Amino acid sequence: MHLNDSDCILQISYIGVNEGIPLTRANFTLLAKKRNNQYYFRSPLLQNTSTWQTKKIGNVTLHYKKDYNKKNANKYFNMVNAFDKKLEFTDKPTEFYCCHNYHEVLQLIGVDYKSDYSSIVKNSLSSAENDQNLVVNGYFTPDFTEFDPHDLWHARLHKVISVSIINKPVDEGTAFINGGSWGLSWEEILSRFKKYAAANPNADWLALYNESTNYDKGAKFPLNVDYTINALIVEKLEKEKGMGAVKELLSCGRRVDGNENYFKALEKTTGITKANFNKKVWEMINSK
Ligand SMILES: [Zn+2]
């Protein structure tokens, strides 16, 4: 490491020990600048992307090397805007770097090697500070084909309601409505749920809810009773009382065995109780 008055480059190695053998855990490259007897350190991201092009899309500045798929990118950013509007959320300006893969993300920000990341092909890193978001995305690729509306809904919702208080089954229910699940649309999920309900006329919805039962056993990915019932509840609640009431239900706290916190908030927001749960769920299913 050598520091002087001008910009300089630092290369830092982090060595770990595994069963007595020293191993390189990570190598980083940082830039340093001395100003008023203080050293300031930063990532080489700006230098590494100085030849990249930019495009302003709303309050996002998209950085890309040569080209990107405009149609898919617009679809993505339009969906972000639609979700934010629904959530009554205004995001900070975002610098969005569009990379081909996670390896490129790491190289650009100055992570030359990190053993924890060695097998990860696609991933995205982000930070939010100084009234600005930074996203270095190695997941979507410049083709923007990899984004999933379900995951995007979760990501936008978690900017509004902290994961420390969000109730996962309600969170999933809202994601079903807004982004489907595992490539299925909400209409397709609903049709599978109705099929299950028709085949189980004596279903005990309260018990199935608390057990978070998967009702689509033959499918590649599970569909859970509690997520789907919440999708029905949230759809009705949003229509009747607006997003404020939906947010109140979402914020009832993490899922606990027996779901006491959830049922308390459910009664307050919708009037549905444990006693009338079965009847109300049937009403919602039959109204579809
Ligand atoms: Zn989900």
Return the CA Rg of the chain.
24
Backbone phi, psi, residue 27, to 5°: -125, 130
- Rounded to the nearest angstrom, the distance between the alpha carbon of 151 and the centre of ligand 1 is 6
- Rounded to the nearest angstrom, the distance between the alpha carbon of 16 and the centre of ligand 1 is 35
Nearest in space to 55 (alpha carbons), one of 94, 81, 28, 27: 94
- Rounded to the nearest angstrom, the distance between the alpha carbon of 223 and the centre of ligand 1 is 11
- Rounded to the nearest angstrom, the distance between the alpha carbon of 41 and the centre of ligand 1 is 37
Determine which helix (DSSP H) or strand (DSSP E) holds 241, and give its type and residue range. Answer: helix 225-241
Instruction: Pull the structure tokens for residue 283.
Output: 């009403």
CA 136 from chain centre, in angstroms, equals 15
- Rounded to the nearest angstrom, the distance between the alpha carbon of 175 and the centre of ligand 1 is 6
- Rounded to the nearest angstrom, the distance between the alpha carbon of 238 and the centre of ligand 1 is 19
Low-confidence ranges of the chain (pLDDT < 50): 1-3
- Rounded to the nearest angstrom, the distance between the alpha carbon of 154 and the centre of ligand 1 is 7
- Rounded to the nearest angstrom, the distance between the alpha carbon of 258 and the centre of ligand 1 is 21
**Exposed e or buried b per residue across 80-106, where buried means at least 16 C-beta atoms within 10 angstroms of its C-beta:** bbebbebbeeeeeebbbbbbeebbbbb
Confidence (pLDDT) at 145? 83
Could you give the CA distance from residue 258 to residue 261 in angstroms, rounded to a whole number?
9
- Rounded to the nearest angstrom, the distance between the alpha carbon of 38 and the centre of ligand 1 is 46
- Rounded to the nearest angstrom, the distance between the alpha carbon of 4 and the centre of ligand 1 is 50
- Rounded to the nearest angstrom, the distance between the alpha carbon of 221 and the centre of ligand 1 is 12
Name the residue ranges covered by the structural domains of the chain: 8-44, 48-158, 168-286
- Rounded to the nearest angstrom, the distance between the alpha carbon of 115 and the centre of ligand 1 is 28
Which DSSP category does 257 fall into? T
Please, is 117 exposed, middle or buried when counting C-beta atoms within 10 Å of its C-beta (0-12, 13-18, 19+)? Answer: middle
Number of Cβ atoms within 10 Å of the Cβ of 219? 12
Confidence (pLDDT) at 6? 59
CA-CA-CA-CA torsion sign (161, 223, 206, 238)? positive
Instruction: Pull the structure tokens for residue 27.
Output: 């190598």
Instruction: Pull the structure tokens for residue 267.
Output: 């009664």
- Residues around the ion ligand 1 (C-beta < 5 A): 172, 175
- Rounded to the nearest angstrom, the distance between the alpha carbon of 163 and the centre of ligand 1 is 12
For 86-124, the pLDDT digits (tens) are 999 999 999 999 999 999 999 999 999 998 888 899 999
Confidence (pLDDT) at 184? 94
Strands 123-129, 132-138: pairing is antiparallel
